[in-house]
């Protein structure tokens, strides 16, 4: 029998999650049966969307259950196999994060290929769900055209940093916001045209207007709040607002007012569309083909913030809401 530690949701947070909302437990795993495998996790992902699953309310994905282990993207190594499709040593991707090990049917796991220049954990980031989110949201909804201006909020995160770089590949001028000087310097090193520290710029509207005096054609929203108001204010006619996330409101304890200038969507003929990455699963083969090519050509770069130890996973997750990550936040199990 294999012992495995796992992190469970102890109680539902009100406002910003805290360590006391999580608890560590030890469980005994059964031997893998026919068609099953035992996997030891190597890396797990923490993502802002997980905050929504901590509310007990209907959504596009079921809420986490109090007292049960949390779930999320993970990459692990097969230790024992009862299925010919997987052998010990194979790396697999699953949604069985927040635990050291697990037993699952082999047909619920994705065997990961080896890709030159791409570390295994990148399948949780640049070549994984965050990368596809950036690719699908920008290209399918934003529809950027050469010469247009794209504004990206939260641009130093796992999704935003890829959006900004794909927009450059597509021939656009990119205005990006981030919350620290270090993040802004990294974005500049990627060739982003205009980078704004939204915490120190003084007036965000003035800063974005200075960077994009003729307005913006596409806004990729990871933040919401003031950033969304600024995007609406500076949107050109027929602009596209891609609503990926609004992390500024994820821990709100009461309903926040919407953008005070929302009426401008009418007069400017703005298209505003939210999306979930699973809606665009059909784009994944083309995404992997394009992204692997861009990586090989050196046109896409990425950062990872890696926290060591399963016990540090709650800390890593909570850190997402203060911007403690540069690029993808990962936990090395």
pLDDT, tens only, 172-192: 999 999 999 999 999 999 999
Classify burial at 309, counting beta carbons within 10 Å of its beta carbon; exposed 0-12, middle 13-18, buried 19 or more: exposed
Q: Are 97 and 163 contained in the same domain? A: no
Q: Is residue 294 part of a domain?
A: no
Query: In a 3-state reduction of DSSP, which class is residue 20?
Result: helix
Structure tokens at 70: 């949390």
Query: In a 3-state reduction of DSSP, which class is residue 295?
Result: helix
What's the average model confidence in pLDDT over 139-154?
98
Task: Choose the final residue of a domain: 279, 294, 312.
Answer: 279
Q: Give percent of the chain with pLDDT exceeding 70.
A: 100
Are 9 and 65 spatial neighbours (Cβ–Cβ below 8 Å)? yes
Q: What is the average pLDDT score of the chain?
A: 96
Q: Are 172 and 273 contained in the same domain? A: yes
**205 Cα distance to chain centroid:** 25
Structure tokens at 82: 């009862």
Q: In the chain, where does DSSP find H-type helix?
A: 49-52, 129-136, 160-169, 181-189, 204-211, 225-234, 264-267, 284-296, 313-319
| pLDDT score at 257 | 86
- pLDDT surpasses 80 at 231: yes
Inter-axis angle of helices 204-211 and 225-234, nearest 10:
40
Instruction: Identify the CATH number of the domain in which residue 201 sits.
Output: 3.40.50.720
Q: Are 89 and 211 contained in the same domain? A: no
Q: Are 86 and 65 contained in the same domain? A: yes
Q: Are 150 and 249 contained in the same domain? A: yes
Model confidence at 116, in pLDDT bands (50, 70, 90)?
confident
Element (H, E) at 25: strand 22-29
| pLDDT score at 114 | 84
pLDDT, tens only, 85-109: 999 999 999 999 999 999 999 999 9
Q: Is residue 296 part of a domain?
A: no
Q: Is residue 42 part of a domain?
A: yes
Are 134 and 166 spatial neighbours (Cβ–Cβ below 8 Å)? yes
Domain extent for 56? 2-125+302-332
| pLDDT score at 26 | 98
Q: Is residue 295 part of a domain?
A: no
pLDDT, tens only, 288-320: 999 999 999 999 999 999 999 999 999 999 999
Instruction: Identify the CATH number of the domain in which residue 65 sits.
Output: 3.90.180.10
């Amino acid at each position: 029998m294999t012992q495995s530690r796992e992190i469970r949701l102890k109680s539902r947070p009100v406002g910003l999650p805290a360590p006391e909302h999580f608890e560590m437990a030890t469980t005994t795993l059964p031997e893998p049966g026919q068609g099953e495998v035992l996997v030891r996790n190597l890396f797990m992902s923490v993502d802002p969307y997980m905050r929504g699953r901590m509310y007990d309310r209907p959504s596009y994905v079921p809420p986490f259950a109090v007292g049960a282990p949390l779930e999320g993207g993970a990459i692990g190594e097969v230790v024992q196999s009862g299925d010919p499709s997987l052998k010990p040593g194979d790396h697999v991707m699953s949604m069985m994060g927040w635990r050291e090990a697990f037993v699952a049917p082999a047909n619920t796991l994705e065997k990961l290929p080896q890709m030159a220049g791409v570390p295994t954990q990148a399948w949780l980031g640049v070549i994984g769900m965050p990368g596809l989110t950036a690719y699908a949201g920008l290209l399918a909804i934003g529809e950027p055209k050469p010469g247009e201006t794209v504004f990206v909020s939260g641009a130093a995160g796992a999704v935003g940093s890829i959006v900004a770089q794909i927009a450059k590949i597509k021939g656009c001028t990119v205005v990006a916001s981030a919350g620290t000087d270090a993040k802004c310097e990294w974005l500049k090193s990627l060739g982003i045209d205009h980078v704004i520290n939204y915490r120190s710029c003084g007036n965000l509207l003035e800063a974005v207007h200075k960077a994009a005096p003729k307005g913006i054609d596409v806004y990729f929203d990871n933040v919401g709040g003031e950033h969304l108001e600024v995007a609406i204010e500076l949107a050109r006619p027929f602009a596209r607002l891609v609503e990926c996330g609004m992390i500024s409101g994820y821990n709100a304890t009461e309903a926040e007012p919407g953008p005070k200038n929302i009426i401008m969507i009418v007069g400017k003929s703005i298209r505003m569309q939210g999306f979930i990455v699973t809606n665009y699963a059909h784009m994944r083969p083309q995404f992997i083909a394009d992204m692997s090519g861009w990586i090989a050509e050196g046109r896409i770069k990425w950062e990872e913030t890696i926290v060591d130890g399963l016990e540090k996973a709650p800390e890593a997750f909570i850190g997402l809401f203060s911007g403690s990550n540069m690029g993808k936040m990962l936990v090395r199990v």
